[in-house]
A and B are shown apart, each in its own frame.
Chain A
Amino acid sequence: MQMEVVGCGKGKKDMSLRGRFAVIFLALTVLDVLLLVSAEEHERISGSAGDVLEDDPVGRLKVFIYELPSKYNKQVLEKDSRCLTHMFATEIFMHDFLLASAVRTLNPAEADWFYTPVYSTCDLTPNGLPLPFKSPQMMRSAIEYISNQWPFWNRTEGADHFFVVPHDFGACFHYQEEKAIERGILPLLQRATLVQTFGQSYHVCLKEGSIVVPPYCPPQKMQSRIIPASTPRSIFVYFRGLFYDIGNDPEGGYYARGARASVWENFKNNPLFDISTEHPVTYYEDMQRAVFCLCPLGWAPWSPRLVEGVIFGCIPVIIADDIVLPFADAIPWEEIGVFVAEKDVPNLDTILTSISPEVVLKKQRLLANPAMKQAMLFPQPAQPGDAFHQILNGLARKLPHDKTIYLEPGHSVLNWTSGPPGDLKPWKLS
């Protein structure tokens, strides 16, 4: 048994002497430039309001919580406990947070903001979707109560009050867009600040001065499925969800304004796009192996996919015209996500491949910022920098109140009798 050694290749290592010197010289000149480029994992986020994600609201505002009878909150929750886990659970957790928070004050005379804990999305169908038909009545009833019991509502007619309305179309209280537009924002809430998930520019259901928040996603469910960050991201574009809503819009064209159907028809055969309607068990793990995650609109422009994309470091590709994203003044979404107009959906692959790698890496660095991830979540118990604190920061940024909101006693701006006749009926917990 003999051994013959034949060297068969030396790899790509051979370089001439001059070449080596050139490389060293270049490396030295580039080195100081590289030192300036951030070699960190993440970058600071500062939006149009400045670097405000990590502000502490304690000491900057005081919130008074009205004591409503439990039929407005506790009893509603007792009837259906699914309200704690669906994506409209923000209102319940906001109440819990404020009850225990340091910004709460028991003296209403020194309060800057007033909060009314009414769980208006908690009337669920057997499938778990909220019925909007009683919500306006419930809200009216609650406002009648607080205006009778305390003088603060009539003092400003709600201008220093805020309400959490996480419905599909906010305070328009309907899940169908046409009906929601017809109804408009509930007349009694015209002066109050609304904390809602819906946000679309030039839309009736987004009022000036509203605070747009992300939908509720259970933080433990997502954080328990995080895989090691060194797992290579090998999926280019990822999406799981409906493209056609066969039940409500069998012909297509209404659902998502045809955008989701367009994504499917154009890219179902494209190997770069991992899109399908099947929800796999490894949904969260797959998102962490993807570079881009599509967040197209559905029946409403907002979706929990944005939150999931941010938590899992997948760059959100937002396909929803005129959408207003959560905390838009604190988070510069244009630098973090990719916005694609609905009419440009057939060119989506061209658009995404034309983004340069440096831009992609910068977006990933911004997403990796823990402040960014924290701002999208509603953890229990609350942690500094989370979405609860961002809401309070948003409220604090609106202070001090303009003097004109205070009305003369007896002077009334709101019309208590306007609205569809169904809204004017008294509300009873069924």
Chain B
Amino acid sequence: MKATGPRSLQRCNTRRTSTSPERYSEGSIRPSALRLCVHAVACLVSLILGFRFSREALLVVVAFRHSPGDSISQKLSSNLDRISEPEIGLKFPYVPGKATDDAAPEKLPLDSKLTVPPVKSSRVHVGRHEILIRPWPRPNPLEVAVAHALLQRVQQEQRRLYVAGEWRRVIVITPTFSRTFQWAHLTGLMHTLMSVPGPLTWIVVEAGGVSNETASLLARSGLECFHLSVDQSMPAAWSQREPMESLMRVTALRFVRERKLDGVIVFADDSNTHSLRLFDEVQNVKWLGAVSVGILGNYVSTQDTQELQGLSEEGRQLVSVQGPACNESCHLIGWHILPRLEQSVKFDDVSKTVVSTKDLVWAGFVLNSRILWEDAEKPDYISDWDEWTSNQVVPSSPLGLVKNQVFVEPLGNCGREVLLWWLRIEARADSKFPSRWVIDPPLEVVVPSKRTPWPEARFEQPSLVHSAESLNQSDKHRVKHSGRTRSKQGARHSNKRRQGLPSKVEDFTISQGQ
């Protein structure tokens, strides 16, 4: 037991112990007779020794405390409230002495706490307090889930109270085709649409026929959806892909027209990222609305298109946005467009193809589905469906549905809010990928790296060395069953090695050479 020194001369009948019967009388724990005896003995001992020794818990704390005892009493007198508390309140094991710098000497004189009028029954006092930290301050996943449920409930109530008008069904039209990133894009879009807090219909148009992978993904979503297909497959050249996608969207619009689906039509391309606020904002559309589309992946390599690269004068990265342009009184006066958008150069094999997009992307437009119906009451400025699709060229944007562009409604605070993002990145057209991105059966390949500490690598056969090199490139999905025998060989060899003497240096140099 450590000596704490004469500074902490306190009698048993100090303020602390005088308030302890009060604490006990709050009804939590009755002190047992044994405890009272120990308490009395401790009082006597402390009288003799000359310093405080009135609680047996003191022993535990003093024994485990490493710092010198100059400030123990100070700490203890503020801690005792909490150390004796475990009977009452704390759920977590209280860790005394955490976080505060124990080595720092106390500057406060001991008396300052005793100047607080003792009559009042408050335990709040001035002075240094312990910073309470629980031993594992990590979020509990159950609590996080409960918190999210609470947020959802609060938001539902907000929608009920403050959002005027009924929620109109959102009809989402997505053209897609089988390619490397299709699964990733569609999964992301699926989760976005599953989070939309209202009824939704998803129309997926696939190029080249209905594919089972896409159908399985749509079935997994649990949304109401229609899986359309177009027989033509998606052409490889980028310049031809846009008209094909427009064709697919018009196909879907024709479906909406024939089935007389009612709601707000949003063109959600699978490679876009949508904010959930978009679906709240599109409820306000009357006939044809436009939203601002942020553009990601707009990398331009040429020197003379510095401004297209999105660098301002200070060199800060700007973000390109395509969408309606408004004046101060929030009327549409034009469009923000980028005259020449180039595809991302990272994965594209036709890297310098320029796709000139004079027209605006479909994703920036929102329609009221009645605009397509045959016999709905439409204002005069809406063109007829047959007019719009009559000529042989597929329309490249729904702007043709209104006779005058003035009637397009800008949404999202007049285009100032960017609610969706167009991610213009695709993989190479000839890249290989497993179906549904599931490798079945799982790979069981033991592939030695070029620098391996394992001695069995030096027993590798030359054919496998070549295959290891090719595996280091992009295609990683080839299953190698020969790997099994090789590992067995390696194990046998390693056993042999272990039986012998420790390996010499030249063994490792050989393996490193590979």
- Among A177-209, those with CB < 8 Å from B are 177-178, 181-182, 200-204
Contact A11 B224, beta carbon cutoff 8 Å: yes
A-B contact count (CB 8 A): 188
- Among B94-110, those with CB < 8 Å from A are 99-101, 104
Question: Which stretch of B12-20, B154-162, B470-478 is in the interface?
Answer: B154-162
Which of B131, B254, B280 has a CB less than 8 Å from the CB of A262? Answer: B131
Residues of B within 8 A of A354 (CB): 146
Which of B122, B163, B227 has a CB less than 8 Å from the CB of A201? Answer: B122
Q: Report if A5-B255 is in contact (Cβ < 8 Å); known contacts: A13-B224, A233-B158, A271-B144.
A: yes
**Chain B: interface residue count, which band?**
35 or more
Task: Specify which of B101, B140, B154, B223 lies most central, judged by the most chain A CB atoms within 10 Å of its CB.
Answer: B154
Question: What is the CA–CA distance of A178 and B130 in the complex, to the nearest angstrom?
Answer: 18
Question: Which stretch of B42-50, B172-180, B213-221, B384-392 is in the interface?
Answer: B213-221
- Residues 264-289 of chain A: 1 if any B CB is under 8 Å from the residue's CB, otherwise 0? 01110111100000000000000000
Contact B158 A8, beta carbon cutoff 8 Å: no
Q: How many residues of A contact B (CB 8 A)?
A: 66
Contact A267 B140, beta carbon cutoff 8 Å: no
B455 within 8 A of A: no
A10 within 8 A of B: yes
Question: What is the CA–CA distance of A344 and B115 in the complex, to the nearest angstrom?
Answer: 26
Residues of A within 8 A of B397 (CB): none
Which of B124, B128, B151, B221 has a CB less than 8 Å from the CB of A236? Answer: B151
Q: Report if A353-B223 is in contact (Cβ < 8 Å); known contacts: A178-B126, A230-B163, A347-B92.
A: no
Q: Report if A9-B223 is in contact (Cβ < 8 Å); known contacts: A202-B120, A253-B131.
A: yes
Question: Which stretch of A68-76, A107-115, A127-135, A356-364 is in the interface?
Answer: A356-364
Residues of B within 8 A of A265 (CB): 99, 131, 133, 137
Contact B247 A1, beta carbon cutoff 8 Å: yes
A33 within 8 A of B: no
Contact B150 A357, beta carbon cutoff 8 Å: yes
Main secondary structure of the interface of A (DSSP, over half): mixed
Which of B100, B122, B151 has a CB less than 8 Å from the CB of A233? Answer: B151
A56 within 8 A of B: no
Residues of B bordering A, CB below 8 Å: 82, 85, 89-92, 99-101, 104, 112, 115-117, 120-124, 126-134, 137-140, 143-144, 146-147, 149-151, 153-155, 157-159, 161-163, 199, 204, 209-210, 215, 218-219, 221-232, 247, 251, 254-255, 280
The 23 listed contacts between A and B (C-beta, < 8 Å) are: A1-B232, A8-B226, A13-B224, A41-B161, A177-B126, A232-B159, A236-B150, A253-B131, A254-B129, A257-B124, A261-B99, A261-B131, A266-B133, A267-B137, A291-B151, A322-B122, A342-B129, A346-B92, A347-B91, A349-B143, A360-B154, A361-B153, A364-B154
Given contacts A4-B229, A254-B127, 20 further A-B contacts (CB under 8 A): A1-B251, A3-B230, A3-B251, A4-B209, A4-B228, A5-B255, A8-B218, A8-B227, A11-B224, A234-B151, A252-B100, A258-B131, A265-B133, A342-B129, A343-B85, A343-B132, A346-B133, A349-B140, A360-B150, A361-B154
Residues of A bordering B, CB below 8 Å: 1-13, 41, 177-178, 181-182, 200-204, 228-234, 236, 251-254, 257-259, 261-262, 265-267, 269-272, 291, 321-322, 342-347, 349-350, 352-355, 357, 360-361, 364
